[in-house]
Protein backbone atom coordinates (compact mmCIF):
# COMPACT_ATOMS: atom_id res chain seq x y z
CA UNK A 1 0.00 0.00 0.00
CA UNK A 2 2.95 2.31 0.59
CA UNK A 3 3.96 1.97 -3.06
CA UNK A 4 0.41 2.69 -4.20
CA UNK A 5 0.39 5.89 -2.12
CA UNK A 6 3.76 6.86 -3.61
CA UNK A 7 2.47 6.38 -7.16
CA UNK A 8 -0.83 8.15 -6.53
CA UNK A 9 0.89 11.23 -5.10
CA UNK A 10 3.40 11.52 -7.95
CA UNK A 11 2.50 14.55 -10.05
CA UNK A 12 3.85 13.08 -13.31
CA UNK A 13 1.69 10.00 -12.90
CA UNK A 14 -1.20 12.36 -12.17
CA UNK A 15 -0.64 14.16 -15.47
CA UNK A 16 -0.44 10.81 -17.28
CA UNK A 17 -3.77 9.71 -15.79
CA UNK A 18 -5.40 13.00 -16.75
CA UNK A 19 -4.23 12.61 -20.36
CA UNK A 20 -5.35 8.95 -20.50
CA UNK A 21 -8.83 9.92 -19.29
CA UNK A 22 -9.42 12.08 -22.37
CA UNK A 23 -11.44 9.92 -24.78
CA UNK A 24 -9.53 10.69 -27.96
CA UNK A 25 -10.86 7.44 -29.41
CA UNK A 26 -11.91 6.72 -32.97
CA UNK A 27 -14.25 7.20 -34.73
CA UNK A 28 -14.78 10.56 -32.95
CA UNK A 29 -11.59 11.49 -31.07
CA UNK A 30 -11.87 14.26 -28.47
CA UNK A 31 -8.96 16.33 -29.71
CA UNK A 32 -10.36 19.47 -28.07
CA UNK A 33 -9.80 17.84 -24.69
CA UNK A 34 -6.24 16.96 -25.67
CA UNK A 35 -5.53 20.51 -26.83
CA UNK A 36 -6.87 21.97 -23.57
CA UNK A 37 -4.67 19.60 -21.59
CA UNK A 38 -1.58 20.36 -23.69
CA UNK A 39 -2.14 24.09 -23.40
CA UNK A 40 -2.04 23.73 -19.60
CA UNK A 41 1.17 21.73 -19.91
CA UNK A 42 2.71 24.37 -22.16
CA UNK A 43 1.80 27.10 -19.66
CA UNK A 44 3.39 25.15 -16.80
CA UNK A 45 6.53 24.62 -18.86
CA UNK A 46 6.56 28.22 -20.13
CA UNK A 47 6.81 26.94 -23.71
CA UNK A 48 5.08 28.42 -26.76
CA UNK A 49 2.38 26.23 -28.32
CA UNK A 50 1.14 26.32 -31.91
CA UNK A 51 -1.73 24.40 -33.46
CA UNK A 52 -1.82 23.55 -37.16
CA UNK A 53 -4.58 22.05 -39.28
CA UNK A 54 -2.96 20.56 -42.40
CA UNK A 55 -6.22 19.40 -44.03
CA UNK A 56 -9.23 20.20 -41.85
CA UNK A 57 -10.26 21.67 -38.50
CA UNK A 58 -11.06 18.25 -37.07
CA UNK A 59 -7.46 17.00 -37.08
CA UNK A 60 -4.97 19.25 -35.30
CA UNK A 61 -1.20 19.10 -35.02
CA UNK A 62 -0.05 20.53 -31.68
CA UNK A 63 3.56 21.75 -31.40
CA UNK A 64 5.38 22.84 -28.22
CA UNK A 65 8.81 24.37 -28.79
CA UNK A 66 11.90 24.85 -26.63
CA UNK A 67 14.32 27.13 -28.51
CA UNK A 68 17.97 26.09 -28.42
CA UNK A 69 21.09 28.21 -28.06
CA UNK A 70 21.86 27.68 -31.77
CA UNK A 71 18.40 27.71 -33.38
CA UNK A 72 19.91 27.69 -36.86
CA UNK A 73 20.92 24.05 -36.30
CA UNK A 74 18.42 21.37 -37.39
CA UNK A 75 15.99 20.69 -34.56
CA UNK A 76 15.00 17.56 -32.63
CA UNK A 77 11.39 16.37 -32.99
CA UNK A 78 9.74 14.34 -30.22
CA UNK A 79 6.64 13.00 -31.92
CA UNK A 80 3.59 11.27 -30.45
CA UNK A 81 -0.05 10.87 -31.43
CA UNK A 82 -3.14 11.85 -29.46
CA UNK A 83 -5.64 9.41 -30.99
CA UNK A 84 -6.31 5.87 -29.78
CA UNK A 85 -8.09 2.87 -31.28
CA UNK A 86 -11.65 1.78 -30.34
CA UNK A 87 -12.39 -0.33 -27.28
CA UNK A 88 -14.75 -3.18 -26.42
CA UNK A 89 -15.61 -2.05 -22.90
CA UNK A 90 -17.30 -5.31 -21.91
CA UNK A 91 -13.98 -7.11 -22.37
CA UNK A 92 -12.06 -4.84 -20.00
CA UNK A 93 -11.75 -5.49 -16.27
CA UNK A 94 -11.18 -1.75 -15.70
CA UNK A 95 -12.87 1.22 -17.42
CA UNK A 96 -10.81 1.80 -20.59
CA UNK A 97 -10.66 5.56 -19.95
CA UNK A 98 -10.59 5.43 -16.17
CA UNK A 99 -6.79 5.26 -15.83
CA UNK A 100 -7.30 3.13 -12.73
CA UNK A 101 -4.24 1.78 -10.92
CA UNK A 102 -4.09 -1.52 -9.08
CA UNK A 103 -1.89 -2.41 -6.10
CA UNK A 104 0.82 -3.69 -8.47
CA UNK A 105 1.12 -0.26 -10.05
CA UNK A 106 -0.54 -1.16 -13.33
CA UNK A 107 -2.34 1.80 -14.91
CA UNK A 108 -5.14 0.51 -17.13
CA UNK A 109 -6.27 2.68 -20.05
CA UNK A 110 -6.56 2.70 -23.80
CA UNK A 111 -3.49 4.51 -25.09
CA UNK A 112 -1.34 3.69 -22.06
CA UNK A 113 1.13 1.86 -24.32
CA UNK A 114 0.07 3.27 -27.70
CA UNK A 115 1.18 5.96 -27.10
CA UNK A 116 0.07 8.57 -24.61
CA UNK A 117 2.60 7.39 -22.04
CA UNK A 118 5.46 8.28 -24.38
CA UNK A 119 4.05 11.75 -25.07
CA UNK A 120 3.81 12.35 -21.33
CA UNK A 121 7.32 11.01 -20.74
CA UNK A 122 8.60 13.58 -23.23
CA UNK A 123 6.81 16.36 -21.33
CA UNK A 124 7.94 15.06 -17.93
CA UNK A 125 11.56 14.86 -19.11
CA UNK A 126 11.39 18.40 -20.46
CA UNK A 127 9.90 19.55 -17.14
CA UNK A 128 12.80 17.98 -15.25
CA UNK A 129 15.39 19.49 -17.59
CA UNK A 130 13.92 22.99 -17.46
CA UNK A 131 13.54 22.84 -13.68
CA UNK A 132 17.21 21.93 -13.38
CA UNK A 133 18.40 24.74 -15.63
CA UNK A 134 19.37 22.69 -18.68
CA UNK A 135 20.18 24.45 -21.95
CA UNK A 136 20.86 22.87 -25.34
CA UNK A 137 22.37 23.72 -28.68
CA UNK A 138 19.43 22.51 -30.71
CA UNK A 139 15.78 23.47 -30.60
CA UNK A 140 13.39 20.78 -29.37
CA UNK A 141 9.87 20.44 -30.79
CA UNK A 142 7.24 18.22 -29.18
CA UNK A 143 4.49 17.25 -31.60
CA UNK A 144 1.15 15.74 -30.66
CA UNK A 145 -0.61 14.70 -33.84
CA UNK A 146 -4.04 13.48 -34.91
CA UNK A 147 -5.15 10.51 -37.01
CA UNK A 148 -2.06 8.32 -36.67
CA UNK A 149 -4.19 5.29 -35.92
CA UNK A 150 -5.94 5.80 -39.27
CA UNK A 151 -2.68 6.03 -41.18
CA UNK A 152 -2.04 9.74 -40.74
CA UNK A 153 -4.40 10.66 -43.59
CA UNK A 154 -5.29 14.01 -42.02
CA UNK A 155 -2.30 14.33 -39.70
CA UNK A 156 1.39 13.76 -40.30
CA UNK A 157 1.08 12.60 -43.90
CA UNK A 158 -0.15 15.99 -45.21
CA UNK A 159 1.65 17.99 -42.51
CA UNK A 160 5.17 17.04 -43.70
CA UNK A 161 4.42 18.77 -47.01
CA UNK A 162 3.44 22.12 -45.47
CA UNK A 163 5.50 25.30 -45.02
CA UNK A 164 4.74 25.03 -41.28
CA UNK A 165 6.54 21.69 -41.06
CA UNK A 166 9.48 22.92 -43.12
CA UNK A 167 9.79 25.91 -40.79
CA UNK A 168 10.41 23.51 -37.89
CA UNK A 169 13.78 22.65 -39.53
CA UNK A 170 13.78 19.06 -38.27
CA UNK A 171 17.09 17.19 -38.28
CA UNK A 172 16.02 14.08 -36.37
CA UNK A 173 12.76 12.57 -35.11
CA UNK A 174 12.01 10.29 -32.18
CA UNK A 175 8.70 8.41 -32.26
CA UNK A 176 6.93 5.43 -30.72
CA UNK A 177 8.26 1.92 -30.43
CA UNK A 178 6.65 -1.07 -28.76
CA UNK A 179 6.51 -2.73 -25.35
CA UNK A 180 8.74 -5.73 -24.71
CA UNK A 181 8.06 -8.65 -22.36
CA UNK A 182 11.82 -9.01 -21.74
CA UNK A 183 14.66 -6.74 -20.60
CA UNK A 184 15.45 -5.99 -24.25
CA UNK A 185 13.84 -2.91 -25.78
CA UNK A 186 13.22 -2.88 -29.55
CA UNK A 187 14.51 0.14 -31.48
CA UNK A 188 12.98 0.65 -34.92
CA UNK A 189 14.82 2.34 -37.77
CA UNK A 190 12.45 1.50 -40.64
CA UNK A 191 9.08 0.17 -41.68
CA UNK A 192 7.64 -2.08 -44.32
CA UNK A 193 5.57 -0.56 -47.13
CA UNK A 194 1.81 -0.82 -46.70
CA UNK A 195 -0.05 -2.08 -49.76
CA UNK A 196 -3.78 -2.54 -49.17
CA UNK A 197 -5.37 -3.89 -52.33
CA UNK A 198 -8.61 -5.24 -53.74
CA UNK A 199 -8.94 -7.93 -56.39
CA UNK A 200 -12.17 -7.11 -58.22
CA UNK A 201 -13.00 -10.44 -59.83
CA UNK A 202 -15.52 -10.66 -62.68
CA UNK A 203 -16.90 -14.00 -63.87
CA UNK A 204 -19.74 -15.85 -65.50
CA UNK A 205 -23.06 -15.31 -63.70
CA UNK A 206 -26.03 -17.65 -63.65
CA UNK A 207 -28.21 -20.05 -61.72
CA UNK A 208 -26.71 -21.67 -58.63
CA UNK A 209 -27.61 -25.16 -59.84
CA UNK A 210 -25.27 -25.01 -62.85
CA UNK A 211 -21.56 -25.82 -63.27
CA UNK A 212 -20.59 -22.77 -65.28
CA UNK A 213 -17.02 -22.09 -66.35
CA UNK A 214 -14.94 -19.05 -65.38
CA UNK A 215 -17.07 -18.02 -62.39
CA UNK A 216 -15.89 -15.38 -59.99
CA UNK A 217 -15.76 -18.04 -57.28
CA UNK A 218 -13.33 -20.21 -59.24
CA UNK A 219 -11.09 -17.24 -59.93
CA UNK A 220 -11.28 -16.20 -56.29
CA UNK A 221 -10.04 -19.64 -55.26
CA UNK A 222 -6.97 -19.27 -57.50
CA UNK A 223 -6.19 -15.81 -56.16
CA UNK A 224 -6.56 -17.02 -52.57
CA UNK A 225 -4.27 -19.98 -53.15
CA UNK A 226 -1.55 -17.89 -54.76
CA UNK A 227 -1.66 -15.12 -52.14
CA UNK A 228 -1.65 -17.63 -49.30
CA UNK A 229 1.36 -19.34 -50.89
CA UNK A 230 3.24 -16.04 -50.63
CA UNK A 231 2.15 -15.84 -47.00
CA UNK A 232 3.48 -19.33 -46.31
CA UNK A 233 6.82 -18.42 -47.86
CA UNK A 234 7.19 -15.60 -45.32
CA UNK A 235 6.24 -17.93 -42.49
CA UNK A 236 8.87 -20.42 -43.69
CA UNK A 237 11.54 -17.70 -43.74
CA UNK A 238 10.79 -16.85 -40.11
CA UNK A 239 10.92 -20.51 -39.08
CA UNK A 240 14.21 -21.15 -40.88
CA UNK A 241 15.98 -18.08 -39.50
CA UNK A 242 15.33 -17.27 -35.80
CA UNK A 243 17.33 -14.05 -36.19
CA UNK A 244 14.57 -12.57 -38.36
CA UNK A 245 11.62 -10.64 -36.92
CA UNK A 246 8.22 -10.06 -38.46
CA UNK A 247 9.43 -6.72 -39.81
CA UNK A 248 12.02 -8.52 -41.94
CA UNK A 249 9.48 -10.43 -44.05
CA UNK A 250 6.41 -9.59 -46.10
CA UNK A 251 3.09 -10.20 -44.37
CA UNK A 252 -0.05 -10.96 -46.38
CA UNK A 253 -3.51 -11.27 -44.86
CA UNK A 254 -6.96 -11.68 -46.35
CA UNK A 255 -9.08 -9.06 -44.57
CA UNK A 256 -12.34 -8.82 -46.52
CA UNK A 257 -14.36 -10.86 -49.02
CA UNK A 258 -17.59 -9.57 -50.55
CA UNK A 259 -19.97 -10.31 -53.40
CA UNK A 260 -23.18 -12.04 -54.31
CA UNK A 261 -26.83 -10.99 -54.37
CA UNK A 262 -28.68 -14.18 -53.45
CA UNK A 263 -27.79 -17.65 -52.20
CA UNK A 264 -28.90 -19.41 -55.42
CA UNK A 265 -27.33 -16.95 -57.88
CA UNK A 266 -23.74 -17.20 -59.12
CA UNK A 267 -22.55 -13.57 -58.81
CA UNK A 268 -21.00 -11.60 -61.67
CA UNK A 269 -18.33 -10.17 -59.33
CA UNK A 270 -16.55 -10.93 -56.07
CA UNK A 271 -14.03 -8.78 -54.23
CA UNK A 272 -11.12 -9.90 -52.06
CA UNK A 273 -9.10 -7.44 -50.00
CA UNK A 274 -5.56 -8.15 -48.82
CA UNK A 275 -3.42 -6.22 -46.36
CA UNK A 276 0.18 -6.57 -47.54
CA UNK A 277 3.23 -5.18 -45.76
CA UNK A 278 6.20 -5.39 -48.12
CA UNK A 279 9.59 -6.09 -46.58
CA UNK A 280 12.45 -3.76 -47.42
CA UNK A 281 14.07 -6.38 -49.66
CA UNK A 282 11.01 -6.62 -51.93
CA UNK A 283 11.20 -5.05 -55.39
CA UNK A 284 7.89 -3.23 -55.76
CA UNK A 285 7.81 -3.41 -59.55
CA UNK A 286 8.36 -7.15 -59.48
CA UNK A 287 5.76 -7.67 -56.74
CA UNK A 288 3.12 -5.77 -58.70
CA UNK A 289 3.97 -7.78 -61.83
CA UNK A 290 3.47 -10.95 -59.80
CA UNK A 291 0.00 -9.80 -58.72
CA UNK A 292 -0.96 -9.10 -62.31
CA UNK A 293 0.29 -12.54 -63.34
CA UNK A 294 -1.90 -14.09 -60.64
CA UNK A 295 -4.89 -12.37 -62.27
CA UNK A 296 -4.00 -13.78 -65.68
CA UNK A 297 -3.47 -17.28 -64.30
CA UNK A 298 -6.84 -17.11 -62.56
CA UNK A 299 -8.57 -16.59 -65.92
CA UNK A 300 -8.47 -12.83 -66.46
CA UNK A 301 -11.29 -10.39 -65.93
CA UNK A 302 -9.71 -9.23 -62.66
CA UNK A 303 -8.81 -5.65 -61.80
CA UNK A 304 -6.56 -4.62 -58.92
CA UNK A 305 -7.50 -1.49 -56.97
CA UNK A 306 -5.13 -0.01 -54.37
CA UNK A 307 -6.36 1.61 -51.19
CA UNK A 308 -2.75 2.10 -50.05
CA UNK A 309 0.37 1.66 -52.14
CA UNK A 310 3.16 3.28 -50.20
CA UNK A 311 6.67 3.48 -51.65
CA UNK A 312 9.76 1.92 -50.17
CA UNK A 313 11.38 4.28 -47.68
CA UNK A 314 15.06 3.98 -46.89
CA UNK A 315 15.62 3.01 -43.24
CA UNK A 316 17.50 5.29 -40.88
CA UNK A 317 21.18 4.43 -40.59
CA UNK A 318 22.26 3.02 -37.24
CA UNK A 319 26.01 3.56 -37.43
CA UNK A 320 28.62 6.27 -36.92
CA UNK A 321 27.64 7.97 -40.19
CA UNK A 322 24.51 9.18 -38.37
CA UNK A 323 25.52 11.54 -35.52
CA UNK A 324 22.00 11.44 -34.06
CA UNK A 325 22.21 7.67 -33.74
CA UNK A 326 25.57 8.08 -32.02
CA UNK A 327 23.98 10.51 -29.54
CA UNK A 328 21.05 8.15 -28.94
CA UNK A 329 23.24 5.06 -28.56
CA UNK A 330 25.63 6.83 -26.16
CA UNK A 331 22.72 7.58 -23.84
CA UNK A 332 21.45 3.99 -24.10
CA UNK A 333 24.89 2.60 -23.28
CA UNK A 334 25.33 4.94 -20.30
CA UNK A 335 22.04 3.67 -18.89
CA UNK A 336 23.08 0.03 -19.50
CA UNK A 337 19.91 -0.65 -21.45
CA UNK A 338 19.58 -3.65 -23.73
CA UNK A 339 18.21 -2.77 -27.16
CA UNK A 340 17.52 -4.68 -30.35
CA UNK A 341 17.49 -2.72 -33.64
CA UNK A 342 14.82 -3.95 -36.04
CA UNK A 343 12.24 -3.03 -38.67
CA UNK A 344 8.80 -2.16 -37.32
CA UNK A 345 6.14 -4.64 -38.36
CA UNK A 346 3.37 -2.03 -38.11
CA UNK A 347 3.15 1.53 -39.33
CA UNK A 348 3.91 4.84 -37.61
CA UNK A 349 4.20 8.48 -38.60
CA UNK A 350 7.97 7.99 -38.90
CA UNK A 351 7.47 6.68 -42.44
CA UNK A 352 6.49 10.19 -43.57
CA UNK A 353 9.45 11.75 -41.75
CA UNK A 354 11.90 9.26 -43.24
CA UNK A 355 10.31 9.80 -46.63
CA UNK A 356 11.76 13.34 -46.55
CA UNK A 357 15.23 11.95 -45.86
CA UNK A 358 15.08 12.88 -42.17
CA UNK A 359 16.45 10.17 -39.85
CA UNK A 360 13.86 8.80 -37.40
CA UNK A 361 13.92 6.21 -34.63
CA UNK A 362 11.01 4.44 -32.93
CA UNK A 363 11.54 3.77 -29.23
CA UNK A 364 9.28 3.24 -26.21
CA UNK A 365 10.99 2.50 -22.84
CA UNK A 366 8.50 -0.24 -21.92
CA UNK A 367 10.58 -3.32 -21.20
CA UNK A 368 9.34 -6.18 -18.99
CA UNK A 369 5.82 -5.29 -20.10
CA UNK A 370 3.39 -7.50 -22.05
CA UNK A 371 2.58 -6.20 -25.53
CA UNK A 372 -1.00 -4.91 -25.28
CA UNK A 373 -1.30 -2.14 -27.83
CA UNK A 374 -4.81 -2.26 -29.35
CA UNK A 375 -5.64 -5.09 -26.89
CA UNK A 376 -8.13 -5.33 -24.02
CA UNK A 377 -6.89 -4.24 -20.57
CA UNK A 378 -4.00 -2.28 -22.06
CA UNK A 379 -1.78 -1.07 -19.22
CA UNK A 380 1.59 0.40 -18.28
CA UNK A 381 3.49 -0.11 -15.03
CA UNK A 382 3.84 3.09 -12.99
CA UNK A 383 7.48 2.28 -12.20
CA UNK A 384 8.25 1.74 -15.89
CA UNK A 385 6.66 5.07 -16.71
CA UNK A 386 8.81 6.87 -14.13
CA UNK A 387 11.99 5.06 -15.24
CA UNK A 388 11.16 6.03 -18.82
CA UNK A 389 11.22 9.69 -17.86
CA UNK A 390 14.82 9.35 -16.67
CA UNK A 391 15.70 7.47 -19.85
CA UNK A 392 14.31 10.30 -21.98
CA UNK A 393 16.15 12.90 -19.89
CA UNK A 394 19.42 11.29 -20.97
CA UNK A 395 18.37 10.68 -24.58
CA UNK A 396 16.96 14.19 -25.11
CA UNK A 397 20.06 15.76 -23.53
CA UNK A 398 22.34 13.92 -25.91
CA UNK A 399 20.21 14.47 -29.01
CA UNK A 400 19.76 18.20 -28.39
CA UNK A 401 23.55 18.59 -28.05
CA UNK A 402 24.42 16.54 -31.13
CA UNK A 403 27.39 18.19 -32.86
CA UNK A 404 26.70 20.13 -36.05
CA UNK A 405 27.80 17.49 -38.53
CA UNK A 406 26.07 16.34 -41.68
CA UNK A 407 24.17 13.02 -41.76
CA UNK A 408 25.54 10.84 -44.57
Which residues are tagged catalytic?
83, 148
> CA triplet 114, 116, 120: central angle to 5 degrees?
140
CB neighbours of residue 275 within 10 Å? 16
CB neighbours of residue 1 within 10 Å? 6
Distance CA 405, CA 323 (A): 7
Distance CA 176, CA 115 (A): 7
The answer to whether 145 touches 56, Cβ cutoff 8 Å, is no
CB neighbours of residue 309 within 10 Å? 16
Give CA 154 to chain center in angstroms. 15
Give Cα separations from 334 to 129, 173, 319, 366 (angstroms). Answer: 18, 21, 17, 18
What are the beta bridge partners of residue 170? Answer: 75
Distance CA 321, CA 408 (A): 6
Crossing angle of helices 11-20 and 31-45, in 10° steps, is: 160
CB neighbours of residue 51 within 10 Å? 13
Distance CA 50, CA 67 (A): 14
Percentages helix, strand, coil for the chain (3-state, rounded to 5) are 35, 25, 40
Q: Could you please report the per-residue DSSP string of 52-63?
A: E-SS-TTS-EEE
> CA triplet 378, 384, 387: central angle to 5 degrees?
150
Give CA 51 to chain center in angstroms. 21
In this structure, what are the phi and psi dihedrals at residue 206, rounded to the nearest 5 degrees? Answer: 170, -165
Amino acid sequence: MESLHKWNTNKEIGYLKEYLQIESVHPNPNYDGCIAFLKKQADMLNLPINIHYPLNKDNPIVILTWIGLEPELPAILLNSHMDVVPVFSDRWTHPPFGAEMDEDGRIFARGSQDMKSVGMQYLSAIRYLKTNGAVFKRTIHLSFVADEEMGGRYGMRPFVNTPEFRALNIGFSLDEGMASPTDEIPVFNGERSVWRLYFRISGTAGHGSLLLKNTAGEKLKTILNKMMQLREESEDRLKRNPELTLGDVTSINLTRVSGGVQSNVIPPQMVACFDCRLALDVNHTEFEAKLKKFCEEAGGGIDIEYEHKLPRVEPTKMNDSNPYWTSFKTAIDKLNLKIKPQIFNGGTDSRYIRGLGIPAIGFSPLNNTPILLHDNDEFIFADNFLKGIDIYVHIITNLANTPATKVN
